[in-house]
Amino acid sequence: MFLWLCLPLEISTSTSVLVLLNKAMYQICREVELTKANNLILLIKLTRSIIELDNVIR
């Protein structure tokens, strides 16, 4: 999941700190985007199921 935690920690200069933080933020944003996409897919599936159920009841 959070593979960036496994990166070697070479924090000898401020540049490597910024690179590490950048990679961490990218990974977190990617995880959030995947979660949002999965939630949207679940919402679409739920909506379809409700429509199908409504059609069966009619």
Q: Residue for token digits 């409700």?
A: 50
Distance of CA 14 to the CA centre of its chain: 28
Average pLDDT over the chain, rounded to whole? Answer: 71
Domain assignments of the chain as residue spans, ordered by start? 3-57
Mean of the pLDDT values across residues 33-54? 83
Angle at the Cα of 31 from the Cα atoms of 36 and 11, rounded to 5 degrees: 155
CA distance 5 to 22: 13
% of the chain with per-residue pLDDT over 90? 0
CA distance 18 to 12: 11
The confidence score (pLDDT) of residue 2 equals: 44
Lowest mean pLDDT among 17-21, 23-27, 48-52: 17-21
- Output the six-digit token pair for 58: 């009619």
Mean of the pLDDT values across residues 10-31? 68
